[in-house]
Amino acid sequence: MLFAALSLLGLISQVRLPVELLPEVIYPEVFVSVILRGTSPEQVERDLVVPIEGEIGKLDGVVEMTSTSMANRGMIRVSYSPDTDMKFALLQIQSRVAKLQPLFPPRTQLVVQRFDTSDISSRVMNLQVLGEADLDWLRDFAENEIRPELEAVDGVVNAGVQGGRQRSVAIVADPVILEAHDLTLNDINTRLERYNRPRASLGQIYDGTRVLPVSVQTQFTDLASIREVVLKPEIPLTVGDVARVYPGVQRRTDISRVNGKASVGIQILKEDEANLLDVSAGVEDAVERLNDDYASEGIELVVTNSQADIMAEALDTLKQAAVVGVILGLAVLFLFLRTLRFVAVLLLAIPTSLLLAFNLFYAFGLSMNVLSLCGLALAMGMLADNSIVVMESIFKKFERGKSPEEAAQAGTRDVGRAVVAATATTVVVFLPVVFITSDFQDVLTELALSITFPVLASLVVALLLVPALATRTLNAQITPPLDTGLLIEKYTMLLKACLRHPARLSIGIGLAFLVTLGLSFFFMLQQEAVREESQFIVYVDTPEGTTLEATDEAVAQVEVMVRELPGVDRFTATAEEGLGSVTVMLKDRSEREDGLSLDDVKAKLDEKLDSFNAGVASYDAPITGGFGGGGRGGRGGCSGRGWGGRGR
């Protein structure tokens, strides 16, 4: 009853375990990026980076601070010790940088952020919205019609729309009027920022019987509210008096296409505790429904990549390992024990050990992710070992005439220490990893505990559950086990022959090792061919200062080449200022012309890229000054042979 209850709890724990791609790993670093177009590296360092470094340097706990300055932008990396509360450190730096914001030019963009694996794990999938309509209309449609439907899916926290141009408000001031009233654009910007703010508390008023909170909210709701902002109360002078205010669109910063068609991207993010597979299934259902609803309008949603696919593949691998291990183990056991009831006991030991381990997973706050699944797959082969040893010992005692109860007690007692020692050798290898202090402690802990918990659970099952079940399965009508006398006799003869000819033995072992090594490589290559990646990325790096439009033209040239390749299922393209990429998705190997491999397709593309002279095309990402996951940043170099060639 105890194990039945614990197994039921384990089943509940398994259902409640969060499913994510990676365990949460927090890196003790904060990145500050600053962008101001039209500035040289020297100006960025002198006017932006150095003042920020001065403010951050006053904070406690900073271990190291490095910075990179380049044209139009700079990046500062602030490192802390691993045990630092990074949320508090982030708030401190945000506060310091916010103090400097008014001192910088109005167009200065400041971003403070930290990176951890939750940024990756929260991503569910990327979608592309395709249509024949104008791209700006397509973005509005995605924002107003598609986004609310996707965010209504249980577990989705945000559906971010990317591409196209966002709606904005254009304010064009008359320089003559500004000069007449001794005003600048910065004065208008400051006034607008002060007026456009969320609800703020002004305090409380007491009317004799009640205390009433007082708050004010002055956020803009329409163009008229912007025109009515007062610039000089003594006149009074409003924004509408000195400038024209009208609807506009923001400057385009990126371009994306699918199969050559302009598209708008949507990135789906999930809640931290939401199940990745459940959220992904819900989003896919919503995508299918939306495609049906808007097919008549020429709108199509395409899933370009999904994190759930990686997780589902890992789960399938674990299931296959479990099934194959159970089948092979039970076949061998039945061959020697010749009793289905004994085999049934051992068959019960494996899932019971897993369910007990899931209780520990839940208690220690672990999740089901790629690392924990790898650990479970490694531990799977050891779950039945302890139970086999105990069961075989009990069986031997019963064969010698003991009663089922006596055989269970004596058999378990004889091998108990050996089983505990064998389990301890596995545990002492992995458990100390938990106490390692490093940036990757959480990753190592997840892997170590996912191996240790199932092995410890299998020990408990072997010493408590297996003897109890054995007393109910042992009886006088047990089928005699397989006679191994002849096998032992042949083995003894072979062993004596080997000892008489040590030279031949050494040569034979060497040949066997080489054959085994060769076969291993052969099967690995075969398996690698089956697992071959079905996509690759071509990066297009253009000279520093290249406009978005020019970069897009270079990317479009690569798209034309990709379209002509055999075996291509679809391709997506993105372009920013100076850098673009084309992601090529291939059909299944069996559906490709002449069974072309990925390398064959790349070789055909290389031939076409020989004539490409609009930049550097490479399969390796150009070296960038990224800001810890916050965007591409400025280029510090490029991969390839030079402008007007192909990177190798």
Question: SS3 of 523, please?
Answer: helix
Domain boundary among 200, 234, 249: 249
Asked if 461 contacts 352 with a C-beta cutoff of 8 angstroms, the reply is yes
> What are the backbone angles phi and psi of residue 634, rounded to the nearest 5°?
-80, 155
Is the pLDDT confidence value at 636 over 50?
Answer: no
Model pLDDT, residue 200: 54
At residue 211, does pLDDT exceed 70?
Answer: no
Beta carbons of 61 and 80 less than 8 angstroms apart:
yes
Tell me the sheet residues that pair with 159. Answer: 268
For residue 268, which of 186, 405, 171, 155 has the smallest C-alpha distance?
155
Does the pLDDT value for residue 85 go beyond 60? Answer: yes
Q: Does the pLDDT at position 323 exceed 80? A: no
* Mean pLDDT value of segment 200-205: 60
Query: Within a domain: residue 529?
Result: no
Q: Are 95 and 55 in contact (CB under 8 A)?
A: no
How many domains is the chain built from? Answer: 4
The token pair that represents 554 in the structure block: 């270079």
Please check whether residues 484 and 579 belong to one and the same domain. no
Please give the Cα distance from 34 to 48 (Å, whole number).
Answer: 7
325 in the same domain as 397: yes
Angle at 72 between CA 108 and CA 644, to 5 degrees: 150
CATH number of 546's domain: 3.30.70.1430
For 292-306, how does the pLDDT look when each residue is reduced to its tens digit (9 = 90+)? 999 888 888 988 888
Q: What is the mean pLDDT of residues 72-99?
A: 87
Co-location of 554 and 587 in the same domain = yes
Residue 45 placed within a domain: yes
Cα gap 618→638, rounded to integer Å: 9
225, 207, 229, 205: which is closest to 215 by C-alpha? Answer: 205
Residues 386, 480: one domain?
A: yes
The pLDDT of 453-477, averaged and rounded, is 85
Euclidean distance between CA atoms 343 and 309, whole angstroms: 35
At 551-590, the pLDDT tens digits run 999 999 999 999 999 888 889 888 888 889 998 988 887 7
- Taking the C-alpha atoms of residue 42 and residue 551, their distance in angstroms, rounded to an integer, is 26
Does residue 10 sit in the same domain as residue 50?
Answer: no
Q: Is the pLDDT of residue 205 over 70?
A: no
Segment 136-165 mean pLDDT: 87
Contact 165, 178 (CB under 8 A): no
Mean pLDDT of 212-241: 78
Identify the band that residue 639 occupies on the pLDDT scale cut at 50, 70 and 90.
very low
Residues 358 and 423 in one domain: yes
* CA diameter of the chain: 114
Residue 507 has pLDDT above 80, yes or no: yes
Determine how many CB atoms are found less than 10 A away from the CB of residue 149.
15
Instruction: Note whether 402 and 448 are same-domain residues.
Output: yes
- The domain in which residue 203 lies consists of 167-249
pLDDT band of residue 310 (cuts 50, 70, 90) is: confident
Average pLDDT, the chain: 81
pLDDT score recorded for residue 628:
35
Residue 473 is part of a domain; what is its CATH number? Answer: 1.20.1640.10
Sign of the C-alpha dihedral, residues 279, 281, 282, 283?
positive
- Output the pLDDT for position 481: 56
| CA 599/CA 436 separation, integer angstroms | 41
Task: Enter the pTM of the model.
Answer: 0.61
Strands 579-586 and 535-541: antiparallel
On whether both 541 and 481 belong to a single domain, the answer is no
